[in-house]
């Protein structure tokens, strides 16, 4: 009697992290099936192709992916050069997807609708693992169910941005004013120039995506009279975004904060703090934005750099254990919670930290960080290396750490700052034990806990990540 065919390990998303997962699975002798909703690999990254990454190539290339590419004569870019999103796709992501080994395992134009177990729902426990995982997809020809030995969700968060409303809900009138809204990384100096030249733009957000957009607008205003720039944040200080300047080990990131502070200080950017948006109202060809405390502005366009959140609807039939604050896996959440941490580095982590009660299912990449804006692409590569090892049954490799992260530079909070970079992490920490053994610098250790935990500042929504994309 012939053996039943081996079920694939389904990887959701053909961004850098998803493709890295597939490369590691292939090295382990497993069969990946990568499902990408877009027409090409790295579809979401292509939407911010104009944005430069803060992290250089050194931190943006996965080891297994590099080995695969080099077998086909690929030469890695200079390690200390910072690529743009477009260069990341053209010089790395697309060539990786085009390798014969991976190309035959990727399906484009496939939208994952849900993940469940074949023949049972979330409620059934007895004999649950005897039922393979099942991924329901929507394609141009209809709905299809695909059974899987395991599922790695690397779908990212780019398609599910946070709303403008300060309470986590859309501001009143936000849906009615959608024509005035753009995402956090518009191509201000290129394809989207007409939306900003000679007009008033409100940029909302306190991350590096907001900073990128603000500085592009400053450049635009130098040649386009009447271009007005307003920056609104919900907090009381922009010190965290201004960052470490020359103390930052990623120089491009440090320079971004320095340039932005100068633009605010010279009046090129109007800065509004405590700007908590409650209502949007159409006003002729513009929109009025009310933000409590009698604050209101009128703008032509709103660049909403308010971050992202994971799409959990597709995972409703999965047994997940999520941190109630970040919506990250429960063991990872405390390590990345921005309420407690504003600087430092996230301990390298893998399958053990990312585990859910649902066997053989893992969320990786930017989506694994839930709502926390602290992801580095290199972290995602370490995640999938560990997860692939765990799926293959190599638990020693799954717990071993093979990652060294850059120092993040100055750490600062509304209550103070320090100028010395934090110490980088060594590679001697076992996955699952990182939170107990990683050490914070004295200025960044949280005062509310006797066990310091660390995070890394995310260089940009696009920086490291391809994860705003599909990584």
Reported as a pLDDT band with limits 50, 70 and 90, residue 436 is very low
Topology of domain 9-159+308-399, CATH:
FAD/NAD(P)-binding domain (3.50.50)
Q: What are phi and psi of 396, to 5 degrees?
A: -65, -45
Please tell me if the domain spanning 9-159+308-399 has the same topology as the one spanning 175-304.
yes
Q: Are 326 and 371 in contact (CB under 8 A)?
A: yes
Please enumerate in sequence order all residues whose Cβ is within 8 A of that of 357, keeping only pairs 6 or more positions apart, or say none.
Answer: 319, 320, 321
- Alpha-helix runs per DSSP H in 299-344: 333-336
Sign of torsion over alpha carbons 356, 358, 362, 366: negative
The sheet that has 32-36: what strands, in order across it? Answer: 106-108, 32-36, 9-12, 150-153, 361-363
- For the entire predicted model, the pTM comes to 0.83
Q: What are the tens digits of pLDDT across the range 72-95?
A: 999 999 999 999 999 999 999 999
Please enumerate in sequence order all residues whose Cβ is within 8 A of that of 175, keeping only pairs 6 or more positions apart, or say none.
Answer: none
**CA 408 centroid distance within chain:** 17
Q: Which CATH class is domain 175-304?
A: alpha beta
3 state DSSP class of 47: helix
In this structure, the number of other CB atoms found within 10 A of the CB of residue 264 comes to: 17
Name the nearest CA neighbour of 343 among 444, 239, 463, 419: 444
* pLDDT for 174 beyond 50: yes
Instruction: Report the mean per-residue pLDDT for the chain.
Output: 83
Q: What are the tens digits of pLDDT across the range 418-435?
A: 222 222 222 333 455 433
Name the strand (E) or helix (H) holding 353: helix 351-354
Give the mean model confidence (pLDDT) for residues 175-185. 93
Rounded CA separation 81/246 (Å): 18
Query: Which has more pLDDT, 137 or 250?
Result: 137
Q: What are the tens digits of pLDDT across the range 102-126?
A: 999 999 999 999 999 999 999 999 9
Q: What are phi and psi of 70, to 5 degrees?
A: -65, -25
Question: In the chain, where are the structural domains located?
Answer: 9-159+308-399, 175-304
């Amino acid at each position: 009697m012939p053996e039943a065919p081996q079920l694939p390990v389904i990887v959701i998303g053909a961004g850098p992290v998803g493709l890295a997962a597939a490369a590691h699975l292939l090295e382990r002798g497993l069969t990946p099936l990568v499902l990408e909703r877009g027409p090409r690999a790295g579809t979401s990254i292509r939407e911010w192709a104009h944005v430069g990454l803060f992290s250089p190539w050194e931190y943006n290339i996965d080891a297994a992916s590099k080995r695969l590419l080099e077998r086909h004569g690929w030469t890695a870019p200079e390690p200390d050069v910072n690529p743009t999103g477009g260069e990341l796709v053209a010089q790395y992501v697309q060539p990786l997807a085009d390798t014969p080994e991976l190309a035959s395992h990727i399906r484009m134009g496939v939208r994952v609708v849900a993940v469940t177990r074949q023949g049972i729902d979330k409620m059934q426990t007895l004999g649950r693992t005897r039922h393979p995982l099942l991924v329901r997809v929507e394609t141009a020809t209809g709905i299809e169910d695909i059974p899987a030995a395991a599922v790695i969700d690397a779908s990212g968060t780019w398609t599910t941005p946070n709303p403008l409303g300060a309470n986590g809900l859309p501001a009143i009138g936000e849906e009615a004013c959608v024509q005035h809204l753009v995402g956090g990384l518009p191509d201000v100096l290129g394809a989207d120039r007409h939306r900003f030249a000679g007009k008033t733009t409100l940029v909302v957000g306190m991350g590096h995506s907001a900073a990128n957009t603000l500085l592009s607008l400053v450049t635009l205003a130098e040649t386009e009279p009447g271009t007005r720039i307003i920056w609104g944040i919900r907090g009381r200080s922009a010190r965290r975004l201004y960052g470490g300047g020359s103390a930052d080990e990623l120089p491009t990131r440090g320079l971004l904060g320095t340039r932005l502070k100068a633009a605010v200080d010279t009046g090129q950017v109007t800065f509004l703090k405590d700007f908590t948006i409650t209502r949007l109202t159409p006003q002729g060809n513009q929109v009025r934005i009310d933000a409590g405390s009698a604050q209101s502005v009128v703008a032509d366009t709103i660049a909403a750099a308010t971050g992202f959140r994971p799409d959990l609807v597709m995972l409703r039939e999965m047994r997940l254990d999520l941190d109630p604050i970040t919506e990250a896996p429960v063991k990872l959440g405390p390590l990345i919670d921005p309420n407690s941490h504003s600087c430092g580095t996230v301990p390298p982590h893998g399958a053990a930290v990312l585990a859910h009660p649902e066997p053989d299912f893992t969320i990786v990449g930017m989506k694994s960080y839930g709502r926390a804006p602290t992801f580095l692409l290199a972290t995602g590569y370490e995640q999938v290396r560990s997860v692939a090892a765990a799926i293959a049954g190599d638990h020693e490799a799954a717990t071993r750490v093979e990652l060294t992260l850059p120092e993040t530079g100055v750490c600062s909070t509304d209550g103070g700052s320090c100028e010395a970079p934090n110490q980088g992490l060594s590679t001697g920490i076992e996955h699952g034990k990182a939170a107990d053994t990683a050490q914070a610098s004295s200025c960044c250790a949280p005062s509310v806990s006797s066990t310091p935990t660390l995070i890394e500042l995310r260089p940009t929504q696009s920086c490291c990540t391809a994860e705003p994309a599909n990584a």
